[in-house]
Amino acid sequence: MGLVGRSNQGSGSAVSKGLILVLCVLLVAQSAAASNIVVGGSRGWALGVNYNTWASKTRVRTVDNLVFKYNRNLHDVVVVSKTNFYSCNANRPIARFKSGTDFVKFSKPGTHYVICGVPGHCKAGMKLAINVRA
Q: pLDDT tens track of the chain, all 134 residues? A: 332 233 334 445 554 555 445 444 444 444 468 999 999 999 999 999 999 999 999 999 999 999 999 999 999 999 999 999 999 999 999 999 999 999 999 999 999 999 999 999 999 999 999 999 99
Residues 118, 53 share a domain: yes
Specify the pairing of strand 110-115 against strand 36-38. unpaired
- Local structure of 95: helix, strand or coil: strand
**Does 40 lie in the same domain as 14?**
no
Q: The whole model's pTM is what?
A: 0.76
**CATH code assigned at 65:** 2.60.40.420
What CA–CA distances, in Å, run from 11 to 18, 24, 81, 103?
11, 20, 59, 49
Residues 35-57, buried b or exposed e (16+ Cβ, 10 A)?
A: eebbbbeeebbbeebebeebbee
Domain range for 9: 1-33
**Number of structural domains found in the chain:** 2
